[in-house]
Structures are given as structure tokens and as C-alpha cells.
Amino acid sequence: MRIALQGTGDAGGTPRYGCECAACRNIRRGPTHATVQTDGMQIMLDAGSTFPLQPPQAVLLTHFHIDHVQGLFPLRWGKGDPVHVFAPDDPERMKVLFGTPGVLEFHHPVEPFDLGSLTVTPIPLQHSVPTLGWLLEDNEGCLAYLVDTKGLPDASLDLLRATPIDLLVLDATSPPGSDDPNHNDLDEAFEIVRDLKPHRTLLVHVSHDLDTWKLGRSFDMPAGVEFVSDGHALAVVQGK
Amino acid sequence: MRIALQGTGDAGGTPRYGCECAACRNIRRGPTHATVQTDGMQIMLDAGSTFPLQPPQAVLLTHFHIDHVQGLFPLRWGKGDPVHVFAPDDPERMKVLFGTPGVLEFHHPVEPFDLGSLTVTPIPLQHSVPTLGWLLEDNEGCLAYLVDTKGLPDASLDLLRATPIDLLVLDATSPPGSDDPNHNDLDEAFEIVRDLKPHRTLLVHVSHDLDTWKLGRSFDMPAGVEFVSDGHALAVVQGK
């Protein structure tokens, strides 16, 4: 499978209105979301873009905050076959957002399921609303998309420790020492990397505060861990 | 003043999921919205884009349907001076969308007001929810932005007939003969053009149905009326 990270920023995006920090003067990040391409199938990981894309066959939604679902609003006015949206069960937020779901058909899996050539496993995360990460596996590689989260629940850690992860896409919102109860700061992201030992890690959901922090200093990055820009694309293959 | 039409499509966008029509195979339109640039001021006409832009100093909102307000969600997490959002008074929809308004400061003008070098006049439109068009005038020219609407209320027609309009940006959603109660079809848009006699007209909020209709035939376009693509930019000057 191939993944393209269309967006790598947080809910406020970069630049922020009225902000003169180094990041906001130099960097541009849209809401974190990605597209996974397999043989004959396009899957959205979160629906961050409201501009028409090549329409996906399925959407894996982490949660119902607006920066992760906004792309579903135009998508629902499609026609023909339903668009299957796999998401946590969050009836109240879904009702406000999708009183008119159109062609969207919501599913709330708790066990692994097949999606084309992939096996997909929902991974409960720790956020302010019900949130799921997603583990995508085929015979070429294994991708874990863990956004938005602060740390990981024990059961999710156990499951992920037992899985060799080729590519981890991980929430790293704030500079070290942040007290955000809903997102990893950089040290917390590194701790997850050391625990899960993925072959390669891309840090996403990056705030202007973290970008400004890292523009201003040198610091130790664990091997195989990278910050990337909106639009970054790569293949997920075993051990690469 | 200069205007750039970042988006020219309807709520579903083009292409639509699952649609194989000629428009959806060939054309791309995002939600209708524009940016007006004057000396030292950037103003958004509707907030259709959720990706970070150069932050505006003000937003003129036509109504609270999601394709017109979605860009406010990231904008609200700015800092410093408030972002002034001029909009119709629609408390219920505003409450659902903006329980957390952040730096957004909403205003509900019913009379003309000054915005930098511009005089701005709210123009009541005819849509499924409270909706305002916007008339922007400076000493170089006059721009009318009339989206989303089916026809125009009598009082708005009277006001606009008394105003020489240099550039009209007008809702033209459907092919002739549509029964959509909330948007102009092409004939209804042409009727407004014949009535108001603007120097130049750009048709927006164009659906995939209208694009497919016009790809398939020749038809009479009134002088000075154009369809344009997302990204179209021009200066609004008297008689041009």
C-alpha cells in the first residue's frame, strides 16, 4: 500500500490568524489526514479536506472533531453505492453533524475486518471524545495511524507491541512539557516510539508551537523518526 | 478592490462521489467563496476553505450552511485581535456551529457600514435559511456577491436596481427548468442579470448538473456574463 499525508497540522492549522511566531511566518500545515492507496482501492484516513478529491471507496475516521470529519460534508452528496465510513460509536456528535448522511454509511467496528486486500484493526486511543486509531496490514507491510491521542490505553499498547509496525503515523502536537490532556507532546510521542519500535515513524498533528520550538534549537531525534510536510507520500513496505 | 474566486461550486462539489457525468469526469469545483483585497485589507466572502490562508481581517458570511462557514473552524483558534464576522442573525445554527467561537466576533448588520476603504451593504436574499448577499463599494468600483439565492426579494431588487454594479457574482446552480426552491437555475440567473444590468457577471455555485448540461449544447449567453473556474481573479473597476 501507499500513503500520502495530505495534511500534518492541528485543528487550528499553521499559520494561525494573528500569530507572528516563527512557524506561522514560515510553515503551512492543514488538518491531519491521509489517503491510502492499494490495488484498486482508495481509502481516506480522516476526512480533513473539504475540496473534492478523487472519491474514496472507504473512510477510516478517528473521531468526530470537525478537523477530522469536515470532508464528509460534500462527500455525502454523492450518488450510487454507499461510502462506507468506519468510525467510533459517538451517537450524539454524529447526530449533530450528520442528521443528513446522504450516501455515507457508518460502521462501528470493534474487531479486525477486511477492506479489499487489507486487514484493518480499530485501536482505541486516549482523547477527549471516543477515538480510534487504525492498523492497516497487507502482505507488503503494516501501517499504524494513531491520531489524536495522549499516550495509549494499556490494551492498545499490548496489541501494538505484538505487531511489527513498518510505518507509524503518530500524534506529536506540542513541545515537550505541554500539559495538553488530549494530545502527545514530543517526549510522549518519542516514548511511544521507544515502546512500539516501528521501523519508521512520521510525526503529525504538529502545532505551530511545536514547529516554533524545534526551529529554535537542536534536539535528539530517535532513529527512524521524522517530521514531514503536507503532501508527503511514500510506500509502506516491510522493514522500509 | 481585487477579487479572487477560490471556489465556484455547490455544496456537493465537483466531482461528486460515484458520479460519472461529463462534468464529474472533467471539471473540479470547490465550495463557492472568494477573497477581496483592498489597500491593506483582506476580506473573505464566505469561509469555504478549511486550509490555512493568509488570515483575513474580516469575513462577510452569506449564511450558516456548512460549505459557507467551514473555514471559520480553524480560524477561530487564532490569537490577538478578534476576527470580525459579518453574518445574518441565525442564533440556532450559530450555537451548534460556534459554541466555542474563539477569536471570532459576530456582527449582524442590517444597514450599510464602513470596512476599511469599503462601504458594505447587507442585501437580504431568498434561501432556505437566513441569508445575506453583500454589496461592496469603493471609489474604484462596485461588487455585488449574491449567493445563495433563488430570485431576489422585492426590497433587495429595488436597492440593487438603484446601484450601478460593475461586477456581479451570482448564484447559478442548476440547468434551466430546475425546481430547486433555494437556488437560481440558469434562466433565473439570466433574469436577474437582465433586471440589474451589471457591467459584468460571473456565475458561481455551479452544480455538476449545470456543467454537464452546458457541456452538451450551445446556448445563448447574455453579453458580459461568464462561467469561470476556481481560482479566477480580477480587479473590480468602474465599467470594466
State how beta strands B118-124 and B113-115 pair.
antiparallel
Contacts of B66 in chain A (CB under 8 A): 70, 73
Q: What does the pLDDT read at residue A131? A: 98
- pLDDT tens by residue, A11-40: 999 999 889 999 999 999 999 999 999 988
Q: Evaluate whether residue B240 is within a structural domain.
A: no
What domain count does chain B have? 1
Which residue numbers in chain B have pLDDT < 70?
52-54
C-alpha–C-alpha distance, residues B143 and B4, integer Å:
12
Q: Evaluate whether residue A197 is within a structural domain.
A: yes
C-alpha–C-alpha distance, residues B108 and B127, integer Å:
17
**Percentages of chain B per state (helix, strand, coil), in multiples of 5:** 20, 30, 50
Give the pLDDT band of residue A45 (cuts 50, 70, 90).
Answer: very high
- Chain B touched by A75 (CB under 8 Å): yes
C-alpha–C-alpha distance, residues B106 and B235, integer Å:
28
Contacts of A11 in chain B (CB under 8 A): 73-74, 77
Mark yes or no for CB contact B79/A16 under 8 Å. Answer: yes
Q: Evaluate whether residue A168 is within a structural domain.
A: yes
Q: What does the pLDDT read at residue B49? A: 83
Mark yes or no for CB contact A50/B52 under 8 Å. Answer: no
Contact B105, B85 (CB under 8 A): yes
The CATH number of the domain where B77 resides is what?
3.60.15.10
pTM of the model: 0.88
The HSE-up count of residue B217 (CA atoms within 13 Å, CB side) is 9
The HSE-up count of residue A126 (CA atoms within 13 Å, CB side) is 14
Q: Evaluate whether residue A240 is within a structural domain.
A: no
State the sign of the Cα–Cα–Cα–Cα dihedral A109, A56, A67, A204: positive
Q: Evaluate whether residue B204 is within a structural domain.
A: yes
Residue B183 Cα, gap to closest chain A Cα (Å): 16
C-alpha–C-alpha distance, residues B88 and B129, integer Å:
9
Q: Which of B10, B27, B51 to mutate to test the interface with A (most CBs of A within 10 A)?
A: B51
- Chain A touched by B30 (CB under 8 Å): yes
C-alpha–C-alpha distance, residues B203 and B178, integer Å:
16
Domain limits at A36?
2-235
Q: What is this model's ipTM? A: 0.81
Contact A201, A225 (CB under 8 A): yes
Cell digits of residue A111: 474487531
Q: Evaluate whether residue A143 is within a structural domain.
A: yes
Q: Evaluate whether residue B167 is within a structural domain.
A: yes
Mean pLDDT on A112-120? 96
- Chain A touched by B18 (CB under 8 Å): yes
Main-chain dihedrals φ then ψ at residue B169, nearest 5 degrees: -105, 115
